[in-house]
Amino acid sequence: MQRTEKEQVVAELVEQLRSTESLIVADYRGLTNADLVELRARVRGSGGRFQVVKNTLTRRAAEEAGTESLLTLLEGPTAIAFVEAEGDPVAVAKALADTAKDTKVLTLRGGMLSGRTLTGDDVEELAKLPAPEIVKSQLVGVIVAPLTQLAALLAAPVRDLVGLIDARIAQLEGTSADAEVPDESQDNVAAPAAEASASDEEPAPEAPEPEEATETDEETTE
135 and 124 inside one domain: no
Rama region for 115: left / alpha / beta (φ>0; ψ in -120 to 50; rest): left
Q: Could you list the pLDDT tens digit for every one of the 222 residues in the chain? A: 677 889 999 999 999 999 998 999 999 999 999 999 999 999 999 999 999 999 999 999 999 999 999 999 999 999 999 999 888 999 999 999 999 999 999 999 999 998 889 999 999 999 998 866 665 555 555 555 565 655 565 555 555 555 655 665 666 666 655 555 555 544 554 445 445 444 444 455 554 554 444 444 444 333
CA 68 to chain centre: 42
Q: Is 56 exposed, middle or buried (0-12, 13-18, 19+ CB in 10 A)?
A: exposed
Q: Residues 93, 22: contact at Cβ < 8 Å? A: no
66 and 119 inside one domain: yes
Domain count across the chain:
2
Q: Residues 87, 23: contact at Cβ < 8 Å? A: no
pLDDT at 114: 85
Question: In the chain, at which residue ranges do the beta strands (DSSP E only) sit?
Answer: 22-27, 48-53, 78-83, 107-113, 116-119
24 and 92 inside one domain: yes
166 and 94 inside one domain: no
pLDDT at 160: 59
**Angstrom distance (rounded) from CA 20 to CA 66:** 13
Spell out a b/e string for 171-188, using b for 16 or more CB atoms within 10 Å of the CB, else e: eeeeeeeeeeeeeeeeee
Q: Residues 65, 17: contact at Cβ < 8 Å? A: yes
18 and 105 inside one domain: yes
125 and 150 inside one domain: no
**How many residues comprise the chain?**
222
**Angstrom distance (rounded) from CA 39 to CA 24:** 13
CA 98, 101, 105, 111 torsion-angle sign:
positive
Q: Residues 76, 107: contact at Cβ < 8 Å? A: no
Q: Please work out, in degrees rounded to the nearest 5, the angle formed at the alpha carbon of residue 178 by the alpha carbons of 172 and 179.
A: 90
Residues 6+ apart with CB under 8 A from 28: 36, 39, 52, 77, 78, 79, 106
Question: In 92-214, at which residue ranges do the beta strands (DSSP E only) sit?
Answer: 107-113, 116-119
122 and 25 inside one domain: yes
CA 14 to chain centre: 41
Q: What is the CATH number of the domain that holds 23?
A: 3.30.70.1730
pLDDT at 221: 38
Domain that holds residue 162: 130-173
pLDDT at 175: 61
DSSP state of 104: S
